[in-house]
Amino acid sequence: MQRPTTTRRVLSLLALACALAAGTAQAQQAPRHNQWYLATSISVFDAVAGKSYSAPNRALIGQLVDASDDCDRFDLAAFSASNGARAAVVFERPACGGELVSDYHARKGRRGEWEMTVYSTVAGGAVTLSWDSFHALKRSARGGEVSYRETPTRNSQTLQNLHLVDLETLEVIDALGADGRPNSYTFTLDGQTRRDFRWVLGNVKSRAFKPIVRAASASAAVGSTRAVAPTAAGKFGLPPAAN
């Protein structure tokens, strides 16, 4: 006669355990950041020379309430030309003056795409892309002056939803690994000197695998061997001057 009561007690305990587990999971859910940036670094190892080369800059993608998808003051020119470089990672934006080291877009919540290009003249070199620098940004305005405060973090839904697409192999690399740490990606250019990538925020759909379409004027900017002077010392500065 005691079995129904015992069964009810067991079911009640199970329900309580499930509720506690759900509450804990909800409490531990990572926040979603609407203003942020992620920095991609590149290194190339030359096995013949036994040397490793890196670029003088990182490639920054991000979203800002003050930014636009067109050229603006947050899109900074590359420190030097990528053509002939042992290691370079840039955003090719001819309309914005050529090659950029930062590409901030308007804040669009949970979706976004950024087109990025890697260069290396090291024959057979092992190219590694890494991104261990994700920062949440907080905007403040005082007396007409706008500034941003950055906070490094790995606890972010935004970072969890970022993916890198190799447009040559069509491989998709999650920004975070299963262990919650930033991934990296190593490959060889197989006789080429450049490769295109696309960062995707949100679900990776079929359009994310399409080749990058460049404007007709891109060849002049991409093929240039002249150095491009940086327009600002920090991430946020004036836009590069038009050619």
- Cα 127 to chain center, whole Å? 17
Higher pLDDT among residues 170 and 26, named by residue? 170
CB 121 within 8 A of CB 85: yes
CB 58 within 8 A of CB 89: yes
Q: Residue 237: what pLDDT?
A: 41
Q: Mean pLDDT over all residues of the chain?
A: 81
Higher pLDDT among residues 27 and 115, named by residue? 115
> Distances from the Cα of 51 to the Cαs of 42, 45, 47, 48, 125, in angstroms?
14, 6, 7, 8, 10
Q: Residue 222: what pLDDT?
A: 37
Least confident among 32-46, 47-61, 144-158: 144-158
Stretch 181-208: mean pLDDT: 96
Distance between CA atoms of 236 and 76, rounded to whole angstroms? 8
Number of H helices, E strands in the chain: 3, 13
Stretch 42-53: mean pLDDT: 96
Least confident among 48-52, 167-171, 193-197, 210-214: 210-214
Q: Where are the domains of the chain?
A: 1-30, 36-223
Distance between CA atoms of 240 and 219, rounded to whole angstroms? 18
Stretch 40-58: mean pLDDT: 95
Stretch 18-39: mean pLDDT: 66
Q: Residue 108: what pLDDT?
A: 74
Asked if residue 41 has pLDDT above 90, the reply is yes
CA-based radius of gyration for the chain: 22
Range ranked top by mean pLDDT from 129-138, 167-176, 216-225? 167-176
Per-residue pLDDT tens digits for 70-112: 999 999 999 877 878 999 999 999 888 899 999 999 987 678 9
Higher pLDDT among residues 144 and 212, named by residue? 212
Per-residue pLDDT tens digits for 136-189: 999 888 888 888 899 999 889 999 999 999 999 999 999 999 999 999 999 999
CB 22 within 8 A of CB 31: no
Tokens 């998709």 belong to residue: 172
Least confident among 25-29, 174-178, 218-222, 235-239: 218-222
Q: Residue 92: what pLDDT?
A: 93
Q: Residue 243: what pLDDT?
A: 36
Task: Quote the percentage of the chain above a pLDDT of 70.
Answer: 76
Record the tokens describing residue 243, joined without a space: 């050619």
Distance between CA atoms of 157 and 43, rounded to whole angstroms? 27
Q: Residue 112: what pLDDT?
A: 93
Roughly how many angstroms between the first and final C-alpha of the chain, as a whole number?
89
Work out the pLDDT band at 216, boundaries 50, 70, 90: low
